[in-house]
Amino acid sequence: MFLQKSKLFRGMDQEVLKEIDKIMIKESRAEGTVLFDRGAAANDLYVLIEGSIELTIGDNGHVTYVVKSPGEAFGWSSLVNHHVYTASAVCSSPTELIRIPSDTLNMIFESNPASGLMFFRRLAEIISKRVAISYNLLLRSHEKTSRYLRSVGSF
């Protein structure tokens, strides 16, 4: 079962994985396909099978993260109360993915709290790592800007 390749689902109860397998939708998307826009209603969690997805924030389309590892999940906003996507997702190559309706996934976890707890703990770990990566990139960008401004005498 492909979902077990995803860190979020690895080691989860087999019966729960079978329930999730019943609701997931396998999709093929062409390069350039927009999966969702920032601010749009967040209804689905995605798991990459093959290809790559650029996640962008802001109006200038700054790429903040590239989803490229099979089993990597994105679209987490669909699983929390905010229910709008915080980034836009665009296929940067031909892509195979799994789309999982978040309302049904949450119902499965409500019926299977041990698996739900495992899933959300792993999700928190992944989000924490991605925030740390983004913070470090932002810090490096700020340092480069500061060095440049000092070199041209603006500070």
| pLDDT one-digit tens code per residue, 127-146 | 888 788 777 777 777 677 67
Q: Per the structure, how many domains does the chain have? A: 1
Order of all β-strands in the sheet with 95-101:
25-29, 95-101, 44-50, 73-74
pLDDT band at 65 (very low <50, low <70, confident <90, very high): confident
CATH number of the domain where residue 92 is located: 2.60.120.10
pLDDT band at 153 (very low <50, low <70, confident <90, very high): low
What's the rounded Cα separation, in Å, for the pair 117 and 11? 12
Q: What is the pLDDT of residue 143?
A: 74
Is 104 exposed, middle or buried (CB count within 10 Å of its CB: 0-12, 13-18, 19+)?
A: middle
Look over the chain and give the mean of its residue pLDDT values, rounded to a whole number. 88
Q: What is the pLDDT of residue 10?
A: 87
Q: Which domain holds residue 83?
A: 2-151
Task: Determine which of 35-49, 59-73, 79-93, 96-110 has the lowest per-residue pLDDT on average.
Answer: 59-73
Tell me the residue type at 6. S
The torsion angle over the Cα atoms of residues 113, 131, 9 and 106, rounded to 10 degrees, is 40
Q: pLDDT, tens digit, for every residue of 77-121? A: 898 867 899 899 999 999 999 999 999 999 999 999 999 999 999
- For 2, 72, 145, the CA distances from 10, given in Å and listed in that order, are 10, 12, 41
What's the rounded Cα separation, in Å, for the pair 61 and 142? 18
